[in-house]
Amino acid sequence: MYFDLAPKEKRDDLYDFVDPYARLVELLKMPVQRNPLIVVKGVRRAGKTSLIKTALNELGLSYLYINGKRFADMPAITKKNLLKELERGLNETVEREKRTEKFLEVLRGVEWLKVDSKPPFIHFEWRRPSREMDIPDLIYSFQRLSRQSKRRFVLVLDEAQEFKRLADYKLQNLMSDIYDHRHEIQMIVSGSQIGLLHDFLEIYDPKGALYGRGKAEIVVQRLSKDLATDFLRQGFKQAGIRSDQTTIDRAVDELDGVIGWLTLYGHNMMAGAKTGGSSKEILAQTIEEGSKLEAQELEHFLKTREPARRRYVAILKAAAKLRKASWSDLRTNLIAAEKKRVSNKIFSALLENLVKANFLDKKEDTYFVPDPLLIRALQAGLVH
């Protein structure tokens, strides 16, 4: 159902996405050597996770899903943090596998794993020093599984830009080894903070482990006004809810083609159909909930950048107020807020970080806040 809040995992539940879905399926059917690294990027709540999981499940591929978003508010991520997420992801993988026994048999070859025959299947030997827990050993077990089954294994790093803050382990070195030598394993990397995602991958950094490696890119766009209208219309039909065009148009105008917000609105409309809430009240509720979620996303970003928090917030509030602003407009507003001069170099770096994180967007020489509910959050003072 379109209005289910969980990431979609079946094609029937995935609205539109015709081109990106077809492209991802095409890449996953090609030999791994041709596309060892697939990058899926797009704004927050555009449906990237749903796209990836649906394609993998529809093709019946084995995969390990690691969600970087779990570390979004950590100033630094330790190897142990990563291993705990791997443990969780491995148990999800085993429960999803149709060939559970074969998969468990392969994992029994990893020295620091304890494997049981019932859930939770996988336990890490945490009493051992963390240095003995060698992540490549785990990756090689996936390679053995792929060779046995003669099918690829896919490693998914969702919101991968968060792993830039890994303090005692360089994930890019492992990715480079997979890219160059583990041709049974394909990597899918996704991110909504697109500039920061590129920084993590280091593909353009001559000192980076992945420097010079090619990648296949898929960009997930927000819905056009027509598609957003059709999404709501079809979703209401699935849910058995009657809705007039004025109600749909109002929601599309307020939520601006972000499928995550449209889904939240549809979900709330389903609940409202039982309690008797009006469409205007439900839209207002959705905007309030979404604004709080956007404020939380921004808080995660700011928590890892506390020394510059006030400056980031001041820039965003000015951009939200002006709607469209030049570099000079935003710098003038920051100087007025701080009552002291800010150097061009420092200001440009702040602005660049906000653009990389997709809290600001830039077209030609104009900056703006791309998400309507982040604008609401800033105007309501939910972030300060």
Euclidean distance between CA atoms 376 and 378, whole angstroms: 5
Q: Read off the amino acid at residue 350.
A: L
Contact assessment for residue 83 and residue 133, using Cβ atoms and an 8 Å cutoff = yes
Please tell me the pTM assigned to this model.
0.93
Higher model confidence: residue 120 or residue 38?
38
- Domain range 296-379, CATH class: mainly alpha
Within 10 A of 163 (CB to CB), how many other CB atoms are there? 22
- At 359 the pLDDT is 97
Q: Encode burial over 228-242: b for 16+ CB neighbours within 10 A, e otherwise.
A: bbbbbeebbeebebe
Q: How far apart are CA 201 and CA 181, in angstroms?
A: 18
Query: Residue 167 carries which DSSP code?
Result: S
**Confidence grade of residue 384 (pLDDT, cut at 50, 70, 90):** confident
Lowest mean pLDDT among 122-131, 189-198, 200-209: 122-131
Q: Are 188 and 219 in contact (CB under 8 A)?
A: no
Query: In CATH, what is the architecture of 11-220?
Result: 3-Layer(aba) Sandwich (3.40)
The confidence score (pLDDT) of residue 99 equals 74
d(CA 370, CA 360): 6
Which tokens sit at 252? 């599309």
Delimit the domains of the chain by residue range.
11-220, 225-277, 296-379
Distance (Å) of CA 50 to CA 14, 53, 89, 270? 7, 5, 17, 21
* Residue 168, pLDDT score: 85
Residues 239 and 236: their CA atoms lie apart, in Å, by 5
Residue 7: cis peptide before it, omega within 30 degrees of 0: no
Q: Taking residues 61-71, report their average pLDDT.
A: 95
CA distance 70 to 101: 29
- Say which residue, 318 or 107, is predicted with more confidence: 318
Termini Cα distance of the chain: 37
Asked if pLDDT for residue 153 goes beyond 80, the answer is yes
- pLDDT value of position 129: 55
pLDDT at 273: 83
Q: Is the pLDDT of residue 175 over 80?
A: yes
Domain 296-379 in the same topology as domain 11-220: no
Q: How confident is the model at residue 128 (pLDDT cuts 50, 70, 90)?
A: low
Give 307-347 as a DSSP string. Answer: GGHHHHHHHHHHHHHHSSB-HHHHHHHHHHHHTS---HHHH
pLDDT of 156 > 90? The answer is yes
pLDDT digits (tens, 9 = 90+) for 237-291: 999 999 899 999 999 999 999 999 999 999 999 998 878 889 999 999 999 999 9
- Chain centroid to Cα 14, Å, comes to 17
- Residue 376, CB half-sphere, CA atoms under 13 Å: how many? 18
pLDDT the model gives residue 187: 98
| Token pair of 113 as six digits | 């794993």
For the chain, helix (H) and strand (E) counts, in that order, are 15, 9
Q: List for the chain the helix, strand, coil content (%; round to 5).
A: 60, 10, 30
Q: Where would I find the H helices in 122-208? A: 135-149, 171-181, 194-201
With bands split at pLDDT 50, 70 and 90, how would you rate the model's confidence at 140?
A: confident
Does the pLDDT value for residue 317 go beyond 90? yes
Distance CA 31, CA 33 (A): 5
Characterize 8-32 residue by residue with b for buried, 16 or more Cβ atoms within 10 angstroms of its Cβ, and e for exposed: bbeeebbbbbeebbebbeebbeeeb
The two beta strands, 153-158 and 113-115, are unpaired
pLDDT digits (tens, 9 = 90+) for 364-380: 999 999 999 999 999 99
Q: What is the pLDDT of residues 26-61, one digit of tens each?
A: 999 999 999 999 999 999 999 999 999 999 999 999
Report percent pLDDT > 90 for the chain: 80
Is the pLDDT reported for residue 121 higher than 80? yes
